[in-house]
């Protein structure tokens, strides 16, 4: 028997070409798995050998690998081309268009020209018979009908994907896996309407719940997934967490969004997340088309639901006002005009560009005043009130309280010097007052429906007041069943100076009406608010101290030096840039005063004052007392606290000088010359630089005092600030509008109103929208922010705005802005700001201090000039002008207490809240 020759077994590297000693890739390797090589191979050979090849650890060489990839791509291209050919057929030229079909009997067959050229495969033609055959779809090759008539390619692909999803769902049900069934049951339980079992996506659908929970909404979603659908959370985490296992904070919104989109598709009521994203889209100004795209992606609400969402915000706001009135009937209304220029997309005779003059309002609930306080007006004889009742008097408790506040503000500046930094911890960060704890609480502020009224017209002002009456009567009736509470306590109304005057004039027109509603008795008193008072105070400061000449050390000089090009002297148009410049220059001036007072050569040197001792080893109470005492001496030295002339110079810089005189007489016809001498009172030349800088420091200190008072919500200091500001306004002009408003505010709160009404007016001047110590702002500033939010949403409406759409948008503006603000906090997104978080830059402060050290403005040098400011005094009102000021204040008091109109100056450039859209 013949025996075959034994052969040596050879290892095969590539199972396709049996190549030996070649560079190969394993089918189970990273490269093959990443590029789906096994799937492409199965697509070519048509059979599935995946498990067997994987078991034998098969490999493929580089050449075969690339050929399989190329062949697979060619097969896919052929399939796609074939599908496109079947979906799109082309008729050759001369055939009938499908838009104008005719019967087959009337068709004349075109004569085909003879041609030796062969038709290419890509120029698809049909036979003439097919053009006659009605079973063939005649589609011409023009671009405007290139899509198939029956079904688009996108719909075909969508149907194919839906089939895949259906198949997966059927396979899952057939497998009957316990984990999948549990997941289905868990997701079904989330759709429950019962409060105990419902999802947070349904609990937070209401606008109130959404506002209260936005900051932790995403975290609540993740916790719900962990508790209610843990398998789904595990699957999403496996898909989202990278290979290194690092879990970043950005994963929380991604998981929450994925879960929210899936659950919203399962049950339409689970839409809290979509309401949140819709608010963000509205605030961002996305148009309807963009929001519709996001809605189809499952991210936002549909257009109709978005409209209902905005309307629900308005309805919810009115309901919340009514519910809050049941527990606290003491409210205040603030109002302001909203002017915007609307451009029409297409100008016609009917549709023109128009000016919209609207009026917007907020309702603020009391935090301090209670219904059990005395509401009896004081028995004050108005004709006995004088200027001394509205001005600060020397040595009074009120003057000492204001001086203490000044000393703390000055101490904060002093402790920035290196030699005094150890005393910084002794200075209180917040000035306490009687109602500090209550003013820390978050205020309840709700918007009222916008009114299409122009406050510049008396008839519209009457309509505004009538609307207030109707709304208050409706809400109080719903809350208490009648209007007795409204009649008893009334509602104060606040606004800027123009709003206060115009609404008061409208109310005076109705003073002889029969019913309380027509007399507008429930709307009392009408007062001016504090932010506009501060704004006008800053305006008067720049009118007195800002001119275009760059004479050092004026504001214009430092504006150029610090490159503050956005400062032009018009504060009402650009409040913040002017405020920042005054803060920077004013703090530098005060620092320079401290260096002169303590005989310091530079900021790093030690003080050389005779009253200054190093008390670092002394108890803290003794250190604080010493620091405040020496600041009191500083204030007396420079005349702070009562607008006194600084002790550095004589009252009028006067001195006595002997003057020689010669006279000629005739005696018996002879002429004799007689020489005599006498003393004459003369005045030294003024130091104009010193006067300018001293006056600037007075203005600056009172601005930061008003600013700090607003932050703390100190209602007693608010009255003191108004009293102290009266001489400043008078120094500008005795017809100054806010001179009248400050006198009126002091009269109302201290002499004419009942204790309850006075407290309501005072606490209503400040609002704490976020809660916390030192977080209060002026109520009319909150109203200005509401106007900005409403303007933003009005502009996002596009052209041809209707009153209904404007009302809907403005009603939801504040709520949407609050949702976006809380969402920024949740996502830790820093707010975009047009200015620095600190109004005083360290680098700018160093530049100012260096310049002031060179000039030494607080060393009194007679005869030193400051171009353009030769008539300034170191204090706003000199001693000689005090009697005239008091006479004019007495005149204002008489007219205000009688309800008469007070003449005021007209601004040269009246700037309303105007914006072009």
Q: How far is it, in rounded angstroms, from Cα 54 to Cα 62?
A: 18
Of 724 and 14, the one with more pLDDT: 724
pLDDT band at 611, cuts 50/70/90? low
Cβ density class 490-502: b for 16+ within 10 Å, e for less: bbbbbbbbbbbbb
Give the number of other CB atoms < 10 A from CB of residue 643.
Answer: 20
| Arithmetic mean of pLDDT, 761-781 | 93
pLDDT reading at 650 higher than 90: no
Element containing residue 273 per DSSP (H, E): helix 272-284
**pLDDT for the residue numbered 129:** 39
Tokens 């002339």 correspond to 645
**pLDDT for the residue numbered 383:** 87
Give the highest mean pLDDT range of 239-243, 337-341, 541-545, 681-685: 541-545
Is there a contact between 261 and 267 (Cβ–Cβ < 8 Å)? no
| Arithmetic mean of pLDDT, 124-137 | 42
Span 679-733, pLDDT tens digits: 555 555 789 999 999 999 999 999 999 999 999 999 999 999 999 999 999 999 9
Tell me which of 33-42, 467-476, 581-590 is least confident: 33-42
**pLDDT for the residue numbered 757:** 95
% the chain with pLDDT above 90? 43
| Arithmetic mean of pLDDT, 735-750 | 94
Of 101 and 533, the one with more pLDDT: 533
Q: How far is it, in rounded angstroms, from Cα 272 to Cα 221?
A: 11
Tokens 């208050």 correspond to 472
Token output for 432: 């306490």
Token output for 542: 């720049």
pLDDT reading at 98 higher than 50: no
Own/partner long-range contacts of 66-70 (Cβ < 8 Å, ≥24 apart): 68/16, 68/37, 68/40, 68/41, 68/44, 69/35, 69/37, 69/40
Span 415-448, pLDDT tens digits: 999 988 888 888 999 999 999 999 999 999 999 9
Q: How far is it, in rounded angstroms, from Cα 759 to Cα 756?
A: 5
**pLDDT for the residue numbered 19:** 74
**pLDDT for the residue numbered 173:** 63
pLDDT reading at 890 higher than 80: yes
**pLDDT for the residue numbered 909:** 42
Cis (ω within 30 of 0) for the bond into 553? yes
Average pLDDT, rounded, for the chain: 82
Tokens 């007052």 correspond to 433
pLDDT reading at 123 higher than 50: no
**pLDDT for the residue numbered 273:** 93
**pLDDT for the residue numbered 72:** 84
Token output for 179: 């984990």
pLDDT reading at 303 higher than 90: no
Tell me which of 173-182, 424-433, 752-761, 861-870 is least confident: 173-182
CA dihedral defined by 295, 299, 305, 309, rounded to 10 degrees? -150
Token output for 526: 């009408």
Token output for 18: 């049996």
pLDDT band at 675, cuts 50/70/90? low
Tell me which of 172-186, 519-533, 741-755 is least confident: 172-186
Q: How far is it, in rounded angstroms, from Cα 669 to Cα 585?
A: 71
| Arithmetic mean of pLDDT, 217-224 | 91
Of 318, 283, 287, 294, nearest to 819 (Cα)? 283
Cβ density class 437-463: b for 16+ within 10 Å, e for less: eebbeebbbbbbebbebbbeeeebbbb
**pLDDT for the residue numbered 343:** 76
Q: How far is it, in rounded angstroms, from Cα 550 to Cα 546?
A: 10
Tell me which of 293-307, 539-553, 561-575, 645-659 is least confident: 645-659
Of 837 and 123, the one with more pLDDT: 837
Of 329, 334, 310, 369, nearest to 475 (Cα)? 329
Query: Helix/strand/coil (H, E, C) string of 319-385?
Result: HHHHHHHHHCCCEEEEEEEEEEEECCCCCCCCCCCEEEEEEEEEEEECCCCCCCCCCCCCCCCHHHC
pLDDT reading at 804 higher than 90: no
Helices and strands of the chain, counted as H and E runs = 34, 12
pLDDT band at 283, cuts 50/70/90? confident
Tell me which of 165-179, 378-392, 486-500, 784-798 is least confident: 165-179
Half-sphere exposure of 913 (CA within 13 A, CB side): 26
Q: How far is it, in rounded angstroms, from Cα 537 to Cα 544?
A: 11
Tell me which of 10-14, 41-45, 90-94, 640-644 is least confident: 90-94
Q: How distant, in Å, are the alpha carbons of 14, 27, 46, 49, 64 from that of 54? A: 14, 7, 17, 8, 17
| Arithmetic mean of pLDDT, 260-285 | 91
Of 95 and 188, the one with more pLDDT: 188
Give the highest mean pLDDT range of 87-91, 222-226, 876-880: 222-226
pLDDT band at 904, cuts 50/70/90? confident
pLDDT band at 877, cuts 50/70/90? confident
For the chain, the straight-line distance linking the first and the last C-alpha, in angstroms and rounded, comes to: 107
**pLDDT for the residue numbered 120:** 41
**pLDDT for the residue numbered 842:** 85
**pLDDT for the residue numbered 884:** 92
pLDDT band at 354, cuts 50/70/90? confident
| Arithmetic mean of pLDDT, 65-90 | 77
Q: How distant, in Å, are the alpha carbons of 28, 43, 52 from that of 47? A: 18, 8, 12
pLDDT reading at 352 higher than 90: no
**pLDDT for the residue numbered 493:** 96
| Arithmetic mean of pLDDT, 16-31 | 77
pLDDT band at 652, cuts 50/70/90? very low
**pLDDT for the residue numbered 75:** 85
């Amino acid at each position: 028997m013949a025996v075959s020759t034994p052969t040596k077994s050879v290892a095969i590297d590539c199972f396709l070409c049996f190549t030996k000693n070649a560079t190969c890739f394993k089918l189970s390797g990273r490269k093959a798995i990443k590029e789906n090589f096994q799937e492409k191979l199965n697509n070519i050979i048509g059979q599935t050998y995946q498990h067997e090849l994987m078991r034998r650890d098969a490999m493929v060489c580089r050449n075969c690998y690339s050929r399989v990839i190329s062949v697979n791509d060619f097969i896919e291209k052929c399939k796609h081309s074939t599908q496109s050919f079947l979906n799109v057929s082309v008729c050759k030229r001369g055939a009938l268009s499908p838009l104008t079909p005719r019967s087959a009997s009337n068709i004349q067959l075109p004569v085909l020209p003879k041609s030796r050229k062969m038709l290419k495969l890509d120029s698809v033609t049909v036979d003439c018979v097919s053009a006659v055959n009605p079973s063939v779809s005649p589609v011409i090759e023009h671009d405007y009908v290139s899509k198939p008539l029956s079904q688009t390619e996108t719909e075909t692909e969508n149907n194919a994907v839906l089939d895949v999803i259906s198949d997966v769902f059927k396979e899952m049900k057939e497998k009957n896996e316990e984990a999948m069934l549990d997941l289905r049951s868990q997701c079904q339980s989330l759709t429950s309407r019962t409060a105990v079992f419902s999802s947070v996506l349904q609990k937070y659908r209401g606008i109130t719940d959404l506002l209260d929970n936005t900051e932790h909404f995403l975290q609540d979603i993740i916790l719900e997934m962990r508790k209610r659908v843990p398998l789904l959370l595990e699957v999403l985490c496996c898909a989202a967490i990278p290979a290194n296992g690092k879990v970043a904070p950005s994963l929380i919104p991604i998981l929450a969004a994925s879960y929210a989109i899936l659950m919203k598709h399962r049950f339409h009521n689970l839409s809290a997340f979509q309401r949140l994203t819709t608010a963000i889209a509205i605030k961002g100004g996305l148009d309807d088309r963009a929001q519709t795209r996001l809605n189809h992606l499952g991210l936002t609400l549909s257009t109709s639901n978005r409209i209902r969402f905005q309307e629900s915000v308005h309805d919810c706001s009115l309901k919340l006002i009514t519910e809050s009135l049941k527990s606290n009937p003491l409210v205040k209304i603030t109002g302001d005009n909203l002017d915007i220029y609307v451009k029409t997309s297409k100008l016609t005779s009917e549709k023109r560009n128009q000016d919209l003059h609207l009026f917007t309002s907020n309702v603020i609930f009391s935090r301090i005043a209670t219904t059990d306080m005395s509401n009896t007006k004081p028995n004050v004889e108005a004709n006995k009130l004088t200027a001394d009742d509205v001005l600060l008097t020397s040595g009074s408790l009120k003057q000492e309280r204001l001086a203490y506040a000044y000393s703390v503000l000055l101490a904060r500046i002093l402790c920035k010097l290196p030699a005094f930094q150890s005393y910084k911890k002794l200075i209180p960060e917040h000035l306490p007052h009687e109602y500090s704890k209550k003013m820390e609480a978050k205020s309840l502020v709700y918007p009222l429906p916008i009114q299409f009224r122009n406050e510049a017209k008396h008839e519209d002002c009457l309509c505004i007041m009538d609307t207030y009456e109707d709304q208050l009567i409706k809400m109080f009736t719903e809350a208490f069943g009648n209007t007795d509470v409204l009649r008893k306590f009334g509602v104060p109304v606040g606004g800027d100076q123009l709003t206060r005057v115009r609404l008061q004039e409208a109310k005076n027109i109705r003073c002889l009406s029969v019913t309380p509603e027509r007399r507008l008795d429930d709307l009392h008193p009408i007062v001016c608010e504090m932010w506009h008072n501060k704004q006008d105070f800053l305006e008067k400061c720049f009118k007195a101290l800002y001119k275009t000449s760059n004479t050092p050390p004026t504001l214009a000089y430092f504006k150029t030096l610090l490159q503050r090009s956005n400062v032009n002297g018009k504060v009402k148009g650009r409040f913040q840039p002017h405020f920042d410049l005054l803060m920077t220059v004013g703090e530098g001036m005060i620092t320079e005063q401290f260096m002169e007072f303590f005989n310091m050569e530079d900021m790093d040197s030690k003080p050389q004052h005779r009253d200054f001792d190093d008390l670092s080893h002394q108890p803290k109470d003794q250190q604080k007392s010493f620091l405040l005492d020496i600041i009191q001496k500083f204030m007396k030295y420079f005349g702070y606290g009562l607008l006194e002339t600084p002790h550095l110079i004589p009252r009028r810089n006067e001195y006595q000088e002997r003057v020689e005189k010669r006279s000629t007489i005739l005696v018996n016809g002879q002429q004799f010359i007689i020489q005599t001498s006498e003393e004459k009172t003369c005045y030294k030349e003024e130091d104009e630089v010193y006067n300018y800088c001293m006056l600037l420091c007075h203005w600056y200190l009172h601005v930061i005092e008003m600013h700090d008072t607003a932050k703390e919500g100190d209602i007693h200091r608010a009255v003191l600030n108004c009293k102290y500001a009266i001489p400043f306004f008078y120094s500008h002009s005795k017809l100054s509008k806010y001179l009248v408003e400050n006198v009126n505010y002091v009269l109302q709160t201290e002499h004419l109103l009942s204790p309850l009404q006075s407290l309501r007016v005072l606490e209503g001047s400040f609002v704490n929208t976020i809660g916390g110590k030192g977080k209060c702002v002026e109520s009319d500033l909150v109203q200005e922010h509401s106007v900005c939010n409403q303007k933003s949403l009005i502009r996002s409406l596009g052209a041809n705005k209707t009153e209904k759409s404007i009302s809907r948008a403005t009603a939801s503006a504040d709520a949407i802005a609050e949702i976006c603000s809380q969402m920024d906090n949740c996502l830790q997104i820093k707010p975009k700001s047009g200015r620095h978080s600190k109004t005083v830059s360290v680098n700018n402060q160093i530049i100012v201090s260096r310049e002031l050290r060179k000039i030494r403005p607080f060393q009194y040098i007679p005869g030193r000039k400051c171009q353009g400011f030769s008539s300034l005094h170191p204090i706003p009102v000199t001693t000689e002008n005090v009697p005239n000021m008091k006479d004019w204040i007495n005149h204002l008091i008489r007219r205000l207490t009688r309800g008469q109109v007070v003449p005021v100056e007209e601004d040269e450039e009246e700037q309303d809240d105007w914006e072009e859209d």
